[in-house]
Structure 1
Amino acid sequence: MELRVLRYFLVIAEEESISKASEVLHITQPTLSRQIKELEEELGAELFIREKRNMTLTKAGQYLKDRAQEILSLSDKTTQEFMNQRKQLFSGHISIGCVEADNSDTLSMILEEFIADYPEVTFSIFSGTGEDIVDKLDRGLLDVGVLIKPISTEKYDYVSFPKKETWGVLVEKSSFLARKWTLEPKDLIEVPLLSPVRKEVQEMFSKWMNKDINELNIRGDYNLIFNVFSLVENKIASALAIEGAIIPRQDERFRFIPLNPPLQTQCVFAWRKNVVFSPVVQEFIKRMNDAFKV
């Protein structure tokens, strides 16, 4: 005996008509009639006296009506109790670090779904460089973080986002580089550059250039992209950066030119190994794992 069919039965008993009940339930009359007939066969008793214009309950039908109301009431109460328990279990706070990248919207999408499922959960977002986020992860000030590869695999578990981040150079519009659609290593020899402060990124760029980092004309480094725009505009240097951090702020004063051959990296969602997290953080990590783990 299915709860769904008991609900159908109660609506028919209340409406005293298959046609009216089918309109309430948005089910075709033949389907509804068949469901009730199968219920009667299962119970071995007629539940309705069927007349031309209406249906009334038999004694067996009246008995089932009383029992069905009790059963469905208990079912609804049990479901609500589990929902309340879930809200209590998954109320808490998540602290998230996030680099400036195109994959920020991926994090936002998953977080939006998570908060919809667990409305009692609160969160805080810390925006910073990879070094800032790693430092706060290590000190336990952040639960999880969105970082750009390469990252250490010794201290962290992580899943990779599918969307890749494209590296290029932000140049001032009158720069001779601005006439190019892509930039090859030969184009950047001796060009004054600003580089992200992360050592791993500088080593990656050095490998792409096929030159030692000390041979490159790195005028300075930076942590966040905000101050880079004025430095580029004033022609102090062009800036190595990812497209996802540049595009939201770019205007006609600048051009972002991708590298060729393409230099792309992935963003990862990372958390410390061998740490006991709160239930809400564990569930959020599980959600990320389910969404992106290959």
Structure 2
Amino acid sequence: MVDIDAQPASGTAAPAVRVAEEVAEALERGAAVVALESTIISHGLPRPDNLEVAHRIEDAVRAGGAVPATIAVVDGVARIGLDGAALAAIAERDDVVKASVRDLGFVVARGGSAATTVAATAFLAARCGIRLFATGGLGGVHRGARESFDESADLVALARTRIAVVCSGVKSILDIGATLERLESLNVPVVGYRSDTFPAFYISNSGHRLDWRADTPREVADVIRARDALALGGQGIVVANPLPPDQQLDARLHERVLRGALAELEAKGISGKAVTPFLLEYFHRNTGGESMRANIRLVLRNAKLAARIAAALSGDGS
């Protein structure tokens, strides 16, 4: 393990951030590294499938030519790259909370454990020099945000973080049009990978067209290099990677379950960080597990694509 400019938190002997040796060595020699968030492990998938899928996601990164760096806070230390014991802890322990950037200081100071959201993962990854990050879907602007101001911290984090995020868009329960408008206002570019439209997580095409498209990992890497050369590297880049149509959730089933989920959200007054876990569980229950299988497919595809882009950026890929 390698500790990063580690002033220990008050009252503790542990550093605040620790980078796994494999990850640190890859970064030192300029090799491809892909950050992975841990919320899907602790809060996104049921046990015991979550631990198996966590290993499969890391394997997908390796298959794409990069080193995986799953990120989480374990016993008060932000870990960039998890060994088997730490990965199992995040998957199996009941005291693992969900942490965005604003929560990290509290979790570390109190010696707690947390799975990191997109925002927190992007922040910690970029702090260590990691340029690529794979996840399932971004957070976004919630429906009714004009009254509630309910908007994911993921969007602002991407406006401040030099990292490229490969995802399958945002969940259809969000206001997708408003999310894309917000990303534009924040100067966060969105590029469709082999697609002219923005995906809606389980669904390949949200109906929202994109201005930019890339058809190879090298094209995405070239954009990242060009932004660096122009000193435009202060914001992230969203690489939208849709599921192939034959792998998406059945569109009619999706629409029916979505209507039910929206009605139940409103009836129960669910908002904020509670929305995503509720949505995942509701879809899983009401699609007979088909939504979870689609979720796993898209996360694995995003991990492999992020690895190929990272390899192209490092000069090791095509």
TM bin, normalised by shorter chain, reads under 0.3
Where is the strand percentage greater, Structure 1 or Structure 2? 1
TM-score of the pair, normalised by structure 1: 0.24
Larger Cα-atom Rg = 1
TM-score, structure 2 as length reference = 0.23
